[in-house]
Amino acid sequence: MDFRTTIDRLAVQYKTQWMLLTSAGLVIVLVSHLGFMPLDTGDEARRALVSLEMMLSGDYITPTLHGERYFNKPPLFNWLIIASYRLFGNYSSFALRFPMFISLLLLGVTLFVFIRKYTNPMIAWAAALMTLTNGRVLLYDSMLGLIEITFSLVTYTAMMLVYYYDQKRSYWLLYLTTYALTAVGFLLKGLPPLAFQGLTLLGWFIYTRRPRLLFHPAHLVGIGLFVLITGSYYGIYFSRNAIPYEDVAGVLLSESTKRTGLHFGLGATLLHLVTFPFELVYHFAPYTLLLVLLIRSGIGNILKKNAFVAFNALTFCLTVLIYWFSPQVYARYLIGLVPLLFTVLAYLYYEHTDPANRWRWWVERIWLITTVVVAVGSWTAVFYPTTRVLPGVFWKTAFVSGMLLSLAWLMIRPSSNRLGLTIAVFIVIRMGFNWLVLPGRATKRQFYKESATQSAQLTLGHPLYGYKSTVGADLATDVSSFHITAARGQILRKTAKKIPGAFYIADSISLANEQYKTVGRMILFDRHPASIIQFK
């Protein structure tokens, strides 16, 4: 008995040390290159530019883009970016992405705390790190200052509090806390959190045969709290901006429905219904391969054995329908929902699947083969023209490859935790990504930053405008607009007017048949030639 107890104690210590080691390694690889890449195109540039314009204008209630009112998103995430800008005293990429980074860590901690309470530490750790180290999050969203990670933290916490307070039968706290978080989610991204809240409550209370709880007095009070929080902001907004209510409401509604079947039609919707599951597996691989563990008789009864796991399964199946029926969906929209799925998969992996299970065996062999392929393939960095010139490329490649091969060797040996080893594999892959892939991308983005900054310095002391649709016509040019605005400390506005003494950023299309003097040239992001001009 004493020997067995000692073995069990050592096993627990090993698992604890493994969880701490991998968690610490993940934090290091995430933060070490958080600000390494200059500003990215797309929504990141827009979030950065809108936040910067709010600071320069001194109006923290009315978001603007190139000086024009911007209704697409409420301002809460902009406020977080502004707070980060002020914390670090600059407009750097690190400061821009810091709120996302903190949200990502909090999301992992929140996952661990809730899942551990209703399962065990290993399942909680696995589900948390599966969320943070899947391909989509680890190699893309964890490097960008986007809303979705913060939004995912808010919506996931709201879902978990539904279950937590339901178990305690504390329905006043259930409705007040979840509707408060729904209001926070609304101020981050608009209407989607209302759908998540409604589906979570409706699905769980009907599943547990207690629909009467939907009519609890606290529910009405919770809705009132939501209206109070969101209405307070919009009350202040409309008191400062004399514009019709429907202008703002119309844009928010359009932003929430423009990617759905209502906009794209029946054909695109039917095609998306077929392709969506494969896209889900692809973007959140390698852990989504564990979906095959659901292929077994009596799966419903297995999930019902743990009410918390059943809640996660039910809530995921209901809320994912929002995106399953929306033909144009970005994978990052699903980040707040995949923790529900990963909780179910981690539970099945550790509690209800033997290592000899054929589906698990095949998934683990795919993980092993992938690890070996990446370990060997990483050596191409030593020979590839754009990476072989990187400082220390040989020892960095050798280190990454050696770590991956060591993990592959552990995966070959008998183990009940190859999922944990695969999580470690992806942390090492992110390390290699930082060292060998990001420098090449950073060089390209640095070129556009320098081009924009030089143009800004050329025009210091003079009014500068974007002429017609040269800037602001698409998300790409927001990158250049941000760097110009940051360097000049003035909002870069758009105009079609010809103002004496003013400089303009203009491209060949907007300058057709115009008389002007060229002062300088620049390249807008992405590969968009433009000139700095004055009109004659």
**Structural contact between residues 415 and 421, judged by C-beta atoms closer than 8 angstroms:** yes
Average pLDDT for runs of 10 along the chain of length 536:
50 74 95 92 90 95 91 92 96 96 97 96 96 96 95 98 97 98 95 94 96 96 97 90 70 61 68 88 96 92 95 97 84 94 97 91 96 96 90 95 96 91 96 94 88 91 90 81 94 91 90 88 86 88
Give CA–CA dist 490/477, Å, rounded.
17
d(CA 178, CA 168): 15
Residue 251 has what pLDDT?
62
Tokens describing residue 115? 């899942």
* Helix or strand holding residue 523 (H, E): strand 516-524
Give residue 383's Cα distance to chain centre. Answer: 33
Q: Which of 5, 15, 204 is nearest to 120 (CA)?
A: 15
Global confidence as pTM: 0.93
HSE of 414, CA atoms in CB hemisphere, 13 A: 2
d(CA 188, CA 148): 9
Strand partners, 464: 503
Q: Do residues 451 and 158 touch, judged by C-beta distance below 8 A?
A: no
CA contacts within 13 A on the Cβ side of 157: 23
What's the CA gap between 394 and 382, in Å, rounded?
A: 6
Q: For every residue of 179-213, which 3-state class applies, written as one string?
A: HHHHHHHHHHHCCHHHHHHHHHHHHHHHHCCCHHH
CA distance 426 to 417: 15
Neighbours of 277 (CB within 10 A): 13
Closest CA relative to residue 510, chosen from 526, 491, 492, 533: 533
How many Å is the Cα radius of gyration of the chain?
A: 26
| Confidence (pLDDT) at 176 | 98
**The 3-state secondary structure of 424-471, one letter per residue:** HHHHHHHHHHHHHCHHHHHHHHHHHHHHHHHHHHHCCCCCEEEECCCC
Tokens of 136: 């989509």
Q: Which of 249, 256, 278 is nearest to 328 (CA)?
A: 256
- Determine the 3-state secondary structure of 355 from DSSP: coil
Beta partners for 531?
A: 506, 521
Encoded tokens for 409: 């060797």
Q: How far apart are the first and last CA of the chain?
A: 94
Residues in Cβ contact with 1 at an 8 Å cutoff, skipping those fewer than 6 apart: none
Beta strands in 234-330 (DSSP E): none
Task: Report how far residue 389's alpha carbon sits from residue 64's, in angstroms, rounded to the nearest whole number.
Answer: 42
Q: How far is CA 6 from CA 2, 12, 428, in A?
A: 6, 10, 32
CB-count exposure of residue 391 (10 Å: 0-12, 13-18, 19+): exposed
* pLDDT (0 to 100) of residue 386: 86
Q: Is 518 in a helix, a strand, or coil?
A: strand
